Amino acid sequence: MKRIVIVEDEVYSRTFLKNIITSEAKDLEIVGEAEGVKEAIEVITATQPDALLLDIRLKDGLSFEIFKTLNFEDYCTIFITSYDQYAMQAVKLAALDYVLKPINIPELIQALKKIDLFNLRRNKADVGQYLNNNETTSFLIIEDSKYLKLEFKDIISLESEGAYTKIVLADKSHFSSNPLAYYLDLLPLHFFQIHRSTIVNSKKILSFEMGRGGLVKMGNGRELVVAARRKSDFINFISGLD
């Protein structure tokens, strides 16, 4: 059982969230509730939960202020709010998910299912297996001050661009402020790092040309270099694909 604290200043919304968790997330135990920043810090400190479900605008401030006292990385955090202008802050904190009000119940349930990722992030194989088995299909980025949800199935490749990552789709690209290494812990098993600067979606590979390292031709027509030291692992990888 994962332990969760709900921080929400509206009684009706708090009751709604509790009902959803109780009925749809049987592996979560609600161990505390709070209405404001100060109370949340006290409850979280006392209960030491695995996960937090946080409304952003509380009666005494923004829930981001909680992490001036507590370490954000110690908790699996999902933000819920009516105000999408806070999406950038949530994503920069590497929140597990961000759900807008009025709450779409299936979207909330899917966000709650992701809580199991919290204990798997240090093991890529486990994370990838979890993603493959639990219908997690997307992740969040911020681009040009806009909150975007990208689907794994649409991604051709992820490529390092200095401190940024270029996420290439069939007809466009997006840029994330997270480095390429950040995504290694979030991608399903069918993604493979063919070069220190490139991760590819194996489902989008059209062909592989052998060489010292090699070249993969992707679904958008691009050819990407496979590093020589990764060639053997890559061949074993694609040989094991269904």
pLDDT in tens, 91-134: 556 677 888 888 888 888 888 887 865 554 434 444 445 445 55
User: For position 202, what pLDDT does the model report?
Assistant: 93
Are 113 and 17 within one domain? yes
User: For position 147, what pLDDT does the model report?
Assistant: 67
The torsion angles phi and psi of 34, rounded to 5 degrees, stand at -150, 155
Percent of the chain with pLDDT over 90: 40
With respect to residue 47, please indicate whether it lies within any of the assigned structural domains. Answer: yes
Are 156 and 57 within one domain? no
What is the domain-level CATH number for residue 149? 2.40.50.1020
pLDDT tens readout for residues 195-242: 999 999 999 999 998 877 789 999 888 999 999 989 888 888 887 765
Is the pLDDT at 17 greater than 60? The verdict is yes
Is the pLDDT at 162 greater than 90? The verdict is no
Are 150 and 184 within one domain? yes
Given 119, 151, 177, which residue is the final one in a domain? 119
Picking from 47, 106, 101, the residue whose alpha carbon sits closest to that of residue 74 is 47
Can you tell me which residue has the tokens 């290494």?
181
- 81 pLDDT tier (thresholds 50, 70, 90): confident
Are 59 and 156 within one domain? no
Are 86 and 195 within one domain? no
**Mean pLDDT, rounded, for 18-29:** 91
pLDDT tens readout for residues 138-159: 777 777 766 678 889 999 999 9
Q: How far is CA 164 from CA 65, 158, 181, in A?
A: 27, 10, 10
Are 167 and 113 within one domain? no
**What value does the CA radius of gyration of the chain take, rounded to a whole number of Å?**
20
The number of distinct structural domains making up the chain is 2
- Enclosing domain of residue 81: 2-119
What is the domain-level CATH number for residue 97? 3.40.50.2300
Beta 138-143 vs 97-100: how paired, if at all? Answer: unpaired
Are 84 and 147 within one domain? no
Are 45 and 148 within one domain? no
User: For position 45, what pLDDT does the model report?
Assistant: 96
Are 68 and 35 within one domain? yes
With respect to residue 127, please indicate whether it lies within any of the assigned structural domains. Answer: no
